């Protein structure tokens, strides 16, 4: 049996190997800010799942950057879809030295939070669509989907060309997102010769829309455009049917959620038309593989934005390899010079952090399932 004296060098060697292995691993924290409670919690969890799936795949790849093996860690925080809480979450990430954040989900949260992220050198990748998010010119901000201008314009074009709408009613929920997309739709609809018969207002907490729908019915509208979220869009569709307002309900990407069919039941079908950024995922290279992997991991179908959050997380990792650094400023600079082919489409950013090119697809619901109609 070896003596303790002979064992010491072996133990020391093992210790050195272990220390070397630990030194070669670099932890990179990835934060996610989104509504994990409240009516939009389904979306917040879906977004988180998209990031989680990407991180788990990346960790299996053991990416080498700057001579180190990267290990990504997820830190998820509930911003409740509330601007004040979103700013608190941003400061929490800054205090925790998180340099890469996916989210916020809501435009109204992203606008004030973006300043905190920028001031602390944190890259923020949001699905907030309000144009104001990138108008600040912060080099740390990326919008990973189409803006209200693009989505609202696509729905206006579809309404004019395919639905032959002449007289449209507009409703918005007064949030930064809802108001922004409603105004863009309204502006571009009028530009295409449509008359906006009325513009009504509600909130993102409302459940009763009888009064505003009755007002629009009296104006004999051919369609209703709603700037808001699925938890209000679904009961709105039910109440339109109950009131005999049998016209299409149009909206942006937030109405392209399976939650619409879940909450609206039989009232949500081909009467609902929504515009969503990105190509049809199932038809994209790698798209079906993503859907299958997501379902295997989380036992459910992905919702609207999980693919975009997944893509952007992987793009950040690719930019780290390109820059050979995990420094946020260097990674952000790389993301503005390279491109990434994801499951939603090709990602490449202009100097303001907007996608250089993006497809917008119009969908409807058939037998409870989202079904694509046209791409713009």
Q: Can you tell me the distance from the alpha carbon of 163 to that of 152, in angstroms, rounded to the nearest whole number? A: 15
Q: Can you tell me the distance from the alpha carbon of 22 to that of 8, in angstroms, rounded to the nearest whole number? A: 21
Helix (H, G, I), strand (E, B) or coil at 25: strand
Q: Which residues pair with 360 in a beta bridge?
A: 277
Q: What is the mean pLDDT of the chain?
A: 93
Q: What is the DSSP string of 308-328?
A: HHHHHHHHHHHHHHHHT---H
Q: Which residue has the tokens 């691993």?
A: 25
pLDDT value at 3 more than 70: no
Mean pLDDT of 356-369: 92
The pLDDT value recorded for residue 14 is 44
Q: Grade residue 335 by pLDDT with cuts at 50, 70 and 90.
A: very high
Which H or E run includes 77?
strand 68-78
H-state helical runs in the chain:
4-23, 41-61, 83-95, 107-119, 132-135, 148-161, 176-191, 210-218, 230-242, 258-264, 287-298, 306-323, 328-335
The pLDDT value recorded for residue 2 is 41
The residues, ordered by sequence, that sit 6+ positions from 368 with a Cβ below 8 Å of its Cβ are 258, 261, 262, 268
Q: Grade residue 296 by pLDDT with cuts at 50, 70 and 90.
A: very high
The pLDDT value recorded for residue 359 is 83
Q: How many CA atoms lie within 13 A of 258 on its CB side?
A: 11
The pLDDT value recorded for residue 16 is 41
pLDDT value at 293 more than 50: yes
Query: Which range (8-22, 61-75, 106-120) has the least confidence?
Result: 8-22
Cβ(280)–Cβ(302) below 8 Å:
no
**CB burial of residue 136 (10 Å; 0-12, 13-18, 19+):** middle
Cβ(115)–Cβ(137) below 8 Å:
no
The pLDDT value recorded for residue 282 is 84
pLDDT value at 326 more than 60: yes
Q: Can you tell me the distance from the alpha carbon of 11 to that of 241, in angstroms, rounded to the nearest whole number? A: 76
The pLDDT value recorded for residue 281 is 87
Write out pLDDT tens, residues 175-210: 999 999 999 999 999 999 999 999 999 999 999 999
The pLDDT value recorded for residue 374 is 86
Whats the size of the chain, residue-wise? Answer: 376
The residues, ordered by sequence, that sit 6+ positions from 56 with a Cβ below 8 Å of its Cβ are 297
**CB burial of residue 199 (10 Å; 0-12, 13-18, 19+):** middle
Write out pLDDT tens, residues 80-111: 999 999 999 999 999 999 999 999 999 999 99
Q: Can you tell me the distance from the alpha carbon of 45 to that of 49, in angstroms, rounded to the nearest whole number? A: 6
Q: Grade residue 280 by pLDDT with cuts at 50, 70 and 90.
A: confident
pLDDT value at 256 more than 70: yes
Q: Can you tell me the distance from the alpha carbon of 235 to that of 264, in angstroms, rounded to the nearest whole number? A: 6
DSSP 252: -
DSSP 281: G
For the chain, percent of residues with pLDDT exceeding 70: 94
Write out pLDDT tens, residues 214-252: 999 999 999 999 999 999 999 999 999 999 999 999 999
Q: Which residue has the tokens 């949260």?
A: 109
Q: Can you tell me the distance from the alpha carbon of 131 to that of 276, in angstroms, rounded to the nearest whole number? A: 16
CA 254: distance to chain centroid?
9
The pLDDT value recorded for residue 12 is 42
pTM: 0.86
The better pLDDT of the pair 46, 14 is held by 46
Mean pLDDT of 68-89: 98
Q: Can you tell me the distance from the alpha carbon of 78 to that of 44, in angstroms, rounded to the nearest whole number? A: 8
The pLDDT value recorded for residue 73 is 98
Mean pLDDT of 300-329: 97
The pLDDT value recorded for residue 10 is 45
Mean pLDDT of 312-328: 98
Q: Can you tell me the distance from the alpha carbon of 156 to that of 351, in angstroms, rounded to the nearest whole number? A: 27
pLDDT value at 15 more than 50: no
């Amino acid at each position: 049996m070896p003596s303790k004296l002979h064992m010491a060098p072996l133990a020391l060697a093992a210790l050195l190997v272990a220390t070397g292995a630990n030194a070669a691993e670099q932890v990179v924290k990835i934060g996610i800010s989104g509504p994990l409670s409240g009516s939009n919690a389904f979306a917040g969890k879906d977004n988180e799942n998209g990031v989680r799936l990407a991180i788990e795949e990346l960790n299996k790849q053991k990416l080498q950057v700057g001579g180190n093996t990267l290990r990504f860690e997820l830190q998820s925080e509930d911003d409740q879809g509330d601007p004040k809480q979103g700013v608190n979450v941003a400061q929490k990430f800054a205090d925790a030295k998180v340099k890469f954040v996916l989210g916020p989900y809501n435009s109204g949260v992203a606008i004030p939070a973006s300043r905190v992220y920028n001031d602390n050198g944190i890259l923020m990748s949001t699905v907030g669509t309000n144009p104001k998010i990138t108008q600040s010119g912060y080099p740390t901000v990326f919008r990973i989907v189409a803006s209200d201008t693009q989505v609202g314009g696509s729905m206006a074009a579809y309404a004019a060309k395919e639905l032959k709408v002449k007289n449209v009613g507009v409703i918005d929920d007064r949030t930064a997102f809802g108001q922004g997309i409603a105004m863009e739709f309204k502006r571009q609809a009028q530009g295409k010769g449509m008359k906006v018969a009325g513009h009504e207002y509600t909130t993102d907490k409302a459940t009763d829309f009888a009064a505003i729908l009755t007002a629009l019915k009296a104006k004999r509208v051919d369609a209703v455009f709603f700037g808001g979220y699925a938890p209000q869009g679904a009961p709105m569709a039910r109440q339109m049917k109950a009131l005999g307002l049998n016209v299409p309900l149009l909206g942006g990407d937030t109405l392209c959620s399976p939650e619409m069919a879940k909450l609206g039941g039989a009232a949500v079908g081909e009467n609902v038309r929504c515009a969503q950024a990105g190509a049809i995922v199932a038809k994209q290279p790698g798209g079906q593989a993503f859907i299958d992997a997501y379902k295997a991991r989380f036992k459910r179908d992905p919702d609207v934005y999980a693919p975009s959050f997944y893509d952007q997380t992987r793009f950040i990792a690719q930019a780290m390899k390109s820059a050979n650094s995990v420094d946020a400023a260097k990674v952000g600079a790389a993301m503005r010079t390279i491109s990434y082919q994801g499951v939603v489409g090709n990602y490449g950013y202009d100097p303001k952090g907007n996608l250089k090119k993006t497809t917008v697809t119009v969908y409807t619901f058939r037998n409870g399932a989202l079904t694509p109609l046209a791409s713009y």
